[in-house]
Structure 1
Amino acid sequence: MERNFEFYLKEISQNFQGWDFSYINNRFVESVKEWSYHSLIIPYLLQSKSLLDMGTGGGEFLSILPFPSKTVATECYAPNIPIAKSRLQPRGISVISLEDENKLPFTDGQFDLIINRHEYYNASEVARVLQPQGCFITQQVGPDNDIMLNQMLGAPNPEDYDPNWTVDFLANQLADNGLKIHTKRSLKYITRIFDIGAMVYYFKAIPWQIPNFTIELYKDKLYELHQKIQKKGFLDIESQRYLIIAQK
């Protein structure tokens, strides 16, 4: 196999912390989406007095937002906790480790704004800790996100793959718990991969996409994709996102 292919496979040994994909910037690029989650939440943040950020990762995204003085972040992935605390606590943000994602350790009506980017949530718990007239804004990853990679590699679907997990399903869950749906959108867009090393790094960062992924198990298929990228210059895959804005 080609020497540069073997070089790219070493990307799996690169360190990944929090939710920081800067290492593969310009090597793994998303096309322009129909909305910007960042831009959408800014007006809500500027009017908010109390904020809950669900699934803060390493706090990378929250740290660049104009958050209110009463801001709390949760995270359930243990390796991210110390990273988030070191980044957010000096700025006055409490970081709470969740042991049970279906039970939020907060009093009823504690927050007037809850944001959630790509994190699991329990609709009844979101409704419980949200203040009357408070808003919940979430961007979720659809079940068909990057599924082309699984298919190209002959890999099984992600462990939690569920084609019935639609934006309508999520919106109905929230509505059933007393929230009014203001925005409900779904889209598919292109993610362009420029080298096989960026793909390998990506699989390490999101191990749920291909369960039990190893280079040894998928090396031949990875080489086939590497050759396609070398010939065309890139590989395009389809990504999927949902957006819901709801109010109590």
Structure 2
Amino acid sequence: MDHSFRAFIKQADEPFVGWDFSYITDSGRMRSEPLPWSYGSMAIRAIQQASSMLDMGTGGGEFLESLRPFPPSVYATESYLPNVTIAKARLTPLGVKVVQIEEDNRLPFQTGQFDLILNQHESFSAKEVRRILKNDGMFLTQQVGGLDCKGINEMLGVSINHEYADWSLKAALKELKTYNFEVIKACEDYPAQRFYDVGALVYYLKAIPWQVPNFDVEAFLPSLYKIHQKIEQKGYIDFTQHRFMVLAKAK
């Protein structure tokens, strides 16, 4: 295994904080093909018409912070304790109440408390979202589908997580319609995610442990080296993402 391979692997030890991939995106080491919609633009448009809102799974609050100005009442939830601390430090001065939760189907909010709920890449219970939304309230979500980057798993010889394999736009729409949501807009896409070095891929996999459970660099070293060789030959390697979005109104 050559020196550059080892150097890239070592570089992937950089700590991952909050929900911030800038270590590999700002340097251009990982890029994603643009989606045919902008969740951020849709979120800002919805926020302008809201008086109370919730951001589910806010991570470190980095994305929510970028959506200012906020309506008078703003809450955010997060389940991962280290991120809760980061999110509170970032968002509390902006008037956002950050709440740690354990389960998506039991949220500590009043019935009909919000007229907008945002959810980017966070699991949700359609029943519970409907409970805490006002009548005619809006729910905007962008989700990672069950087939996301399955090519990574194939190259590492690991099965995809079958618990989520069927999670798709079709499945989400069925659940939302069951709980009295009117779908305003929905879209599904399979953009490419490109890695320009194996270290960026390793950093990515460490940050999202659900993609390859119990991911360990040493255990996958031979497979990672094969990926490194492919990148050295072509200049990059692409994997297919799975994304979908839904904008729905509570009836």
Please tell me the TM-score bracket, short chain as reference: over 0.9
Of 202, 205, 208, the residue aligned with 1:206 is 208
Q: Which residue of 2 aligns with 1:242?
A: 244
Q: Is the 8 A contact 1:156 1:211 kept in 2?
A: no
Shift of 1:159: 6.1
Distance in 1, Cα, partners of 2:187 & 2:248: 12
Shift of 1:152: 0.9
Q: Which residue of 2 aligns with 1:117?
A: 120
Distance in 2, Cα, partners of 1:158 & 1:91: 37
Q: Which residue of 2 aligns with 1:17?
A: 17
Structure 2: 5+ residue stretches without partners: none
Distance in 1, Cα, partners of 2:241 & 2:168: 14
Q: Which residue of 2 aligns with 1:169?
A: 171
Q: Deviations over 1:147-202 (max 9, x none)?
A: 1000011122236332x222111111111111111112111011111000000000
> Residues 239 and 17 (structure 1 numbering): CA distance in 2 closer, same or farther, change over 3 Å?
same
2:86 aligned with 1:83 = yes
Letter in 2 for 1:55: G
Corresponding pairs, count = 247
Q: Is the 8 A contact 1:76 1:101 kept in 2?
A: no
Q: Which residue of 2 aligns with 1:225?
A: 227
1:20 alignment partner, SS class: coil
Letter in 1 for 2:177: A
Q: Is the 8 A contact 2:30 2:195 kept in 1?
A: yes
Q: Deviations over 1:6-41 (max 9, x none)?
A: 011113321111100000011110012111111112
Distance in 2, Cα, partners of 1:160 & 1:199: 23
Question: Map of 1:173-212 to 2, 5 A cutoff?
Answer: 173-212=175-214
1:144 alignment partner, SS class: coil
2:144 aligned with 1:145 = no
TM-score, length-scaled by structure 2: 0.96
Distance in 2, Cα, partners of 1:11 & 1:112: 44
Q: Is the 8 A contact 1:159 1:208 kept in 2?
A: no
Q: Percent identity?
A: 44
Letter in 2 for 1:9: I
Distance in 2, Cα, partners of 1:82 & 1:118: 20
Of 73, 76, 88, the residue aligned with 1:73 is 76
Q: Is the 8 A contact 2:43 2:67 kept in 1?
A: no
Q: Which residue of 2 aligns with 1:3?
A: 3
Q: Which residue of 1 aligns with 2:32?
A: 30
Distance in 2, Cα, partners of 1:72 & 1:154: 41
Distance in 2, Cα, partners of 1:75 & 1:115: 13
Of 84, 101, 106, the residue aligned with 1:98 is 101
Q: Is the 8 A contact 2:112 2:135 kept in 1?
A: yes
TM-score, length-scaled by structure 1: 0.97
Of 134, 139, 155, the residue aligned with 2:158 is 155
Distance in 2, Cα, partners of 1:171 & 1:200: 33
Shift of 1:242: 0.9
